Amino acid sequence: MNADIRLDAGTDEAAADAPEGAGAAADAATRAGQKLAYERNKLHKRLLRLTGQAIGDFGMIEDGDKVMVCLSGGKDSYALLDLLGTLRQRAPISFELIAVNLDQKQPGFPEHVLPDYLRSIDVPFHIENQDTYSIVTRVIPEGRTMCSLCSRLRRGILYRVADELGATKIALGHHRDDILETFFLNMFFGGKLKGMPAKLVSDDGRHMVIRPLAYVQECDLEDYARWREFPIIPCNLCGSQENLKRREIKQLMREWEKRFPGRVENIVASLTRVVPSHLMDRELFDFAGLRATGEPRADGDIAFDVDPAFEGPAAAAAPPARLVARNG
């Protein structure tokens, strides 16, 4: 579904000369406008619902919180700030928002864009100026990806800023697709089952990091950004490098969704249905101490039986609607 419906601006000269043709064209334009408004409203409601569900499911925001929204200038962080602003107005609890951008001094970075936008929507903000660009380009050889070092530098700076601002939560704009891509990156290239958590304490143990867009699909955020006309600032330092492994995973997921509709949604659901006894991590499950007690076990081995989930139509294994609902 694409909420960004474009109308054909072309005209038919013959129809323009005929009153009936002009009336039909006007009616068609009216219907198209109504459809556009309907689709946009449905998109907005879906984004608010999924964001609110993630916040509630994981206990991301509490009464009295000061949420530092990390704003990069990309579509995801713009949408996060916008949706949190609406939820803040409707929530039964009180919490603050402050937008924070790290200006990394990339050549040609439009310094005025974010401050102008944030003033226009009346959101408190802080711009942190740190020349990480020079450090990254000096340390990383030309042609190598810069994302790892760049992200480590950025993370340390943002943790410090959170302390200085008195923020109790750090909100990042990672969405459902980011989480899945990270899961597969860790599996394929890191040899471990590890995704990107919706909520977790930071590596320094001092900050709570939240990802309220954890249930939101990237395609919806793309549509929303076009509709809202966010002043997008592209990342020319690392995000545009074509040899990133993440891009390979993204393309793989798109191919899966095209050839096997529903596969990606089932993978999302699997992240919420982990069965440690059916994996091989001895730290998660005490295999050595396992004994047959004669009591039935819901997670017991079914030996050579075929799991019913593997039989019948793919829809039989559909994930929970709360994770992937696309309507309403």
Type and span of the H or E element at 9 = none
Q: What does the buried/exposed string (b/e) look like for 244-255 if buried means 16 or more CB atoms within 10 Å of the residue's CB? A: eebeebbeebee
> Mapping DSSP to helix (H, G, I), strand (E, B) and coil, where does residue 67 land?
strand
- Strand-pair partners of 66: 96
- C-alpha distances in angstroms, 146 versus 115, 189, 235, 260? 26, 17, 12, 34
Closest by alpha carbon to 231, among 68, 98, 130, 118?
118
Provide the phi-psi class of 105: left if phi over 0, else alpha when psi is between -120 and 50, else beta.
left
Annotated ligand binding at 70? The verdict is no
Annotated ligand binding at 235? The verdict is no
Annotated ligand binding at 150? The verdict is yes
**C-beta separation of 323 from 272 below 8 A:** yes
Euclidean distance between CA atoms 173 and 180, whole angstroms: 14
DSSP 66: E
| Count of CB atoms situated within 10 Å of the CB of 281 | 10
Euclidean distance between CA atoms 83 and 63, whole angstroms: 18
Q: How far apart are the first and last CA of the chain?
A: 13
User: Mind giving me the DSSP string for 150-183?
Assistant: HHHHHHHHHHHHHHHHT-SEEE----HHHHHHHH
Residue 228, token pair as written in the block: 């809202």
208: Cβ contacts below 8 Å, ≥ 6 apart:
168, 169, 170, 199, 200, 201, 202
Annotated binding site: 147, 150, 238
Annotated binding site for [4Fe-4S] cluster: 147, 150, 238
